[in-house]
Chain A
Amino acid sequence: MADEMRDMVLEYVIDEYVDEDDDEEVSFDTPLISSGIVDSFSMVSLKVFLEKKCHVSLPDKEATPEAFNTVNKICELVRRFQD
């Protein structure tokens, strides 16, 4: 189940934030925010995606750039609010 979520989030991140002609490799621990792949302005679509697909509500104060910095961290955050 956990792996499924990781795969789903990674797929979304690549599809939503990486250009087709970009050779950037993104994995579960790739920094997303601090590397500039995802910026704080466009993070909103990721939050909406997670809330919809994972049936959670992520408070704005928890959806920080730090918490969204890697796919693994994102999944940790989502699981915390699913529990």
Chain B
Amino acid sequence: MAYSEKARSLFAEDIQAIRDKGIYKEKRFICSPQDPEIEVEYPEGAPKMKVLNFCANNYLGLSNHPEIVKAAHEGLDERGFGMSSVRFICGTQDIHRELQDKVSDFLGMEDTLLFPSCMDANSGVFESILGPEDLILADRLIHASLIDGIKLCSAQYDTFKHMNMKHLRKKLELHQDKRHVLVVTDGVFSMDGDLAPLDEMCDLCDEFGAMILVDDSHASGFIGRTGRGTHEHFNCIDQVDLITTTFGKGLGGASGGCVSGKKELIELCRQNARPYLFSNSMAPPIVNASIKVMDLVTKDTELRDKLEWNAAYFRKGVEDAGLCVRPGNTPIVPVMLYNAKLANDMSRDMYAEGIYVIGFFFPVVPSGAARIRVQLSAAHTKEQIDKAVTAFKKVGEKYGILGLDKKGIIEKYGM
């Protein structure tokens, strides 16, 4: 047998090492649809418990929205379950084209290409358009999938300090000898919920003749006056060359992603991107439901307005309660705790209070920047948000952190 006892024990040691570092990811089972209130089995084997979910990317509350579920059923009935093919062989239906066109219109881009996920889009976009004579210049805190895509590409790369425009300018000056320079950033950074200053970045790119790619996965559908994304928020839609985004967060919550942007760049992705060429098409029920999502977010701003209100209401609630909250204006609200054990202990106690939130610490966030990341949804009710704030107040009081700032929390618990 190839999988020997020795091999088994070596792999078991690897798993134990992950446990010893305190970064083992426990299994958590959701036994209901993805809604603001969910039924959870945690730890594994424990009785199911109803809790309020404040850690999903279900920003617009569409994961179990009746109109989206209905559209998925219709897609299943009219176009079947799966494609059994990659896009370019026999895996593109008319609805794939329809979704691409709707996304292009919504984002204000020339063309769009669907991928099985945004992780796949980010893996494939760089290798498709750039070569060894080019340079990718990335914000240091971009999403892991962009980093993977950059490392898969033969272009050179460099980084600039997080959202530091002075440093970006310095790096653009340094790399003027390259054929193409592509600046890469998240639109909304998922851990801090901060918005990249896209207007300034686009102006710098224009000045130095560089292109810009924005991963707007935590923005599409709700950031900006009509929810187009970070480029709408900063009024620079025409200056952005490429956007990658997902249908797995605000735009439905199932799966699928895309690259949207200048038509030549999209065409190169269609010809070259390995995740596009070697992985199955998005399934018809998800494509049909995503078309409905695009219709909903294009029709009016009701959902993004509700989300904006919910986020502001929660933020004010926890700030007034005396918790230390990272400033911002997105549905991602980081309650800062700085100490990893404190973040873990408080999230466990919040769960006991019926609020499902997760502690994040190094290496997911920088060392000494542990926090509980709270994510709001348009589907949360005011009463549910009140309950979450009350629980934060109770648990914060237990740990004696109410009214303490960064310095106070670190003095009490260390980093």
List A residues at the B interface (Cβ < 8 Å): 17, 19, 35-36, 39, 41-42, 44-45, 48
Contacts and interface: CB of A to CB of B under 8 A. Distances in A.
Contacts of B362: 36
B234 interface: no
Contact of A19 (B157, B158, B159, B161): B161
Contact of A36 (B138, B147, B158, B366): B366
A59 B147 CA distance: 21
B158 A44 contact: yes
B176 interface: no
A39 B366 CA distance: 9
Nearest to A45: B158
A36 B363 contact: yes
B164 interface: yes
A17 B140 CA distance: 10
Given A36-B362, A41-B140, 15 more contacts: A17-B161, A35-B367, A36-B363, A36-B366, A36-B368, A39-B140, A41-B138, A41-B147, A41-B159, A42-B140, A42-B159, A44-B158, A44-B159, A45-B158, A45-B159
A19 B363 CA distance: 19
Given A19-B164, A39-B140, A44 B157 contact: yes
Contacts of B159: 41-42, 44-45
A36 B367 CA distance: 6
B96 to A, nearest CB: 33
Nearest to B366: A36
Interface in B348-384: 362-363, 366-368
A17 B164 CA distance: 11
A64 B140 CA distance: 18
A43 B363 CA distance: 16
Q: List 9 tightest A-B contacts by C-beta distance, closest first.
A: A36-B367, A42-B159, A36-B366, A42-B140, A41-B147, A45-B158, A35-B367, A19-B161, A36-B362
